Chains A and B, each alone.
Chain A
Amino acid sequence: MTSSTKVEEYITDSLLRQDRMPHIWCPGCGIGPAVGCFIRAIESSGLDQDKIALISGIGCTGRVAGYVKLDSFHTTHGRALPFAMGLGLGNPELNVVVFSGDGDLIAIGGNHLIHTARRNVDMTVICLNNFNYGMTGGQMGPTTPLNARSNTSPYGNIEYPFNVPYLVAASGATYVARWTMLHARQLEWSIAEALTKPGFSFIEVLGPCPTLYGRMNKMARGMDSLNYYKENSVVRNGADPKDVDLTSDGPIVVGKFVDIERPTFWEQCQLVIDRAQAKKD
C-alpha cells in the first residue's frame, strides 16, 4: 500500500528545502542519489551544518545549491571554484563544498579547476559527470567518451575525452576518488572523508542522464545505465590515475586513487604573512 505520509525528521529531508520538492531533475537522474549521499555524509561526519557552505555553478547539478538547506550560492557558469576559493580564504572556518557538473567544472571552468588544485585550496569538490551538457539539450562535452553519440555528435564523438582524476591529480589535488551513483555507500564514506580532509579533495561521481545521453547511446532507461555500471565497474583503490580513463567499451575503474598530504593555500598564506611581518619588525 503506497502511503503519502511525510516524515519531517528524516535525515535527507532535514537538509532539503521541502517547499522546492519535487525537484526538476528527470526520472532516473543520478544527481538525486549523489545529493542524498552528500547529506548523509554531513550527518555521519558530525560537522557543524552552520559551518558548511555549498557552491554550485550552472547546469542540472547547479540546481543543488537551491535545494539544500545549507548556506549556498549559485554562481555564474564555471565560476563556482573561484567564488568558493574567495569564500574559503575570507572565512577560513567555513568548510567549503563545490557541487557541480562536468560541463561547469571541467569544460568552462577547466582552467579554474587546474589552478585551484595546483594551489591546494582547502575545499571539497564533488563533480557529477553525466558525459554531456544536460540542461542545454545533450551536446557533447570534454567528458563525452570516444565514439559515444550525443546530440551534436550523432555519428560518434571523434574527440578524446579528459581523464578527469588524472588531470586533477596531476594538477596537485590531495584527495582524488571516483565512484558511480550506484556505489552509494562507498560514495557516502568517500565524501565524509573528503569533507574532513584539509586541502583540495576531488570526487568524481558518474551518474546516468537517461533523457539525453542515455537515449542517444541505447540506454534510454535509467536502469540500463545502472546495469551498465553494475556490470562494468571495477573497484581499484590506489590505482594509478593514468590508467583510469573512461572508454565506451572498457571497464569503469572506481575507487580512491590519491590520498596525500600537502600544505594548503591558507597555510602558505600564513607563511608569507609571517615573512612580511618579520621583515617589518
Chain B
Amino acid sequence: MKLWRTPFDQAEKATRPAKVLIDKDRCKGCSYCVEFCPRGALVLSDELNPKGYTLAAVADESKCLGCGLCDILCPEFAIHLVLNFTES
C-alpha cells in the first residue's frame, strides 16, 4: 500500500509477527482461533490430543500479524504468543 505521508501512530500500530504456541494438553478444538484469525494462519488439524479433541494448529507462520486475537478468545488459555521466540 502506498501512503502519501507516514502515519503518526505507525510505530505503535506496527504488526509484530509472533510465534504462536498451542498447548496440546489444553486445546479442546472449539475452533474460535481458527475462525477469528484475520489472516487464516491457523487450521484445525486431524491430530488428536490425549483426551480425544481435535487440535488447532498453525498452518502458515508467515501469515501471523501478532494481533493476539486467538490468544484472547481462546477459552482454554491454550494459545501463547511469543515475540522474539528462540528455540531452546
Total count of chain A residues near the partner, CB < 8 A: 34
Give the Cβ gap from A173 to chain B, nearest Cβ, in Å: 26
Smallest CB gap from B59: residue in A: A1
* Set B28, B47, B82: member contacting A22, Cβ < 8 A: B28
A28 to B74, CA, bound (A): 8
Contact B24 A10 (CB under 8 A): no
Tell me the total A-B contact number using a CB cutoff of 8 A: 86
Smallest CB gap from A25: residue in B: B75
Contact B74 A32 (CB under 8 A): yes
Q: Is A37 an interface residue (CB 8 A)?
A: yes
Q: Is A94 an interface residue (CB 8 A)?
A: no
A10 to B68, CA, bound (A): 13
List residues of chain A with CB within 8 A of the CB of B24: 2, 4
**1/0 per residue A8-49: CB within 8 Å of B?**
001011001000011101111111110011001000000000
Contact A23 B32 (CB under 8 A): no
Given the contacts A22-B28, A27-B30, A2 and B47 also touching, CB distance less than 8 Å: yes
Q: Is B41 an interface residue (CB 8 A)?
A: no
- Report B's interface with A, CB cutoff 8 A: 21-26, 28-32, 35-36, 45, 47, 51, 53, 55-58, 69, 71-78, 80, 82
Q: Apart from A2-B58, A13-B77, A22-B51, what are 9 other A-B pairs with CB-CB below 8 Å? A: A2-B22, A3-B22, A4-B21, A10-B80, A28-B32, A33-B75, A36-B72, A184-B69, A222-B30
